[in-house]
Amino acid sequence: MIQAEELTKVYQMGDNEVRALDGASFTINKGEMIAIMGPSGSGKSTLMSIIGCLDVPSSGKYSLDGVAVETLDETKLAEVRGRKIGFVFQQFNLLARTSALENVMLPLTYAGYSGREREERARKALEIVGLGDRTHHAPNELSGGQQQRVAIARAIVNEPNILLADEPTGALDSKTGVEIMDLFQRLHKENGQTVILVTHDSYVARHTERIIKISDGKIVSDEVNRNPIKAGAAREDL
């Protein structure tokens, strides 16, 4: 469903050209759970923004569900993001002074759902992440782990083709981090959700079934992980 061919992204920094991505090609199928790994400055964030349709490549082809993303204009890109992609960020990025329910409803608002349908779907998403009883809490009334769950509920509320998580456990302690990884694995296993984790942390990456390593804008390895760590089991150990 994701086909990337020779993706390059060049930034102009003053007089210098920075090649953040330099000919990356890969395919990701529906229902995969995969990690994109690399140190900071490797180009993984650039790759993530292209996969997430936040940006378009300078050259190369990127097709999402058969749609050639590099040909889309800003408005179409926004629509694709709203309908096909769910983002989870390291810093949660929830709207302050806004209830969990309303935070989760946000993508549906932009997608043009009616008020009642929005609320119904947002409640369901919050139940899936285990926060059915926290719908009216504002972010500052929730723990870090709970905030990230709200963010995940917001990411899945549109039933996106891809759940794209950027260092989702980076701001959490290890116990909460494991809980979040467990949630990703459940979403993947139970709902067949495609999950792409972008991380520098090999421990986090080993929770997935396939690891793409990137360095200096190039893909240096793309391997199947035969024995993903089961966060659920680890959770029981803790």
What residues make contact with other proteins under the rule CB under 8 A?
Answer: 45, 49, 52, 54-55, 74-75, 78-79, 81-83, 87, 89, 93, 95-98, 106-107, 109-112, 154, 158
Closer residue to other proteins (CB): 92 or 184: 92
Closer residue to other proteins (CB): 158 or 185: 158
- Report the nearest approach of other proteins to the CB of residue 123 (Å): 18
CA–CA dist 51, 13 (Å, integer): 23
- Report the nearest approach of other proteins to the CB of residue 46 (Å): 8
- Report the nearest approach of other proteins to the CB of residue 68 (Å): 19
DSSP letters along 168-235, please?
Answer: TTTTS-HHHHHHHHHHHHHHHHHH--EEEEEES-HHHHTTSSEEEEEETTEEEEEEE-SS---HHHHH
Closer residue to other proteins (CB): 52 or 145: 52
Closer residue to other proteins (CB): 96 or 238: 96
CA–CA dist 92, 90 (Å, integer): 6
Closer residue to other proteins (CB): 26 or 113: 113
Can you tell me whether residue 153 is helix, strand or coil? helix
CA–CA dist 165, 197 (Å, integer): 5
- Report the nearest approach of other proteins to the CB of residue 162 (Å): 13
- Report the nearest approach of other proteins to the CB of residue 26 (Å): 20
Q: Which two tokens stand for residue 147?
A: 């905030």
Closer residue to other proteins (CB): 195 or 231: 195
Tell the residue number behind the tokens 């199928």, with chain if given.
29
Pair 208, 173: CB distance under 8 Å: no
- Report the nearest approach of other proteins to the CB of residue 57 (Å): 13
- Mention every residue, 6+ apart, whose C-beta is less than 8 A from residue 112: none
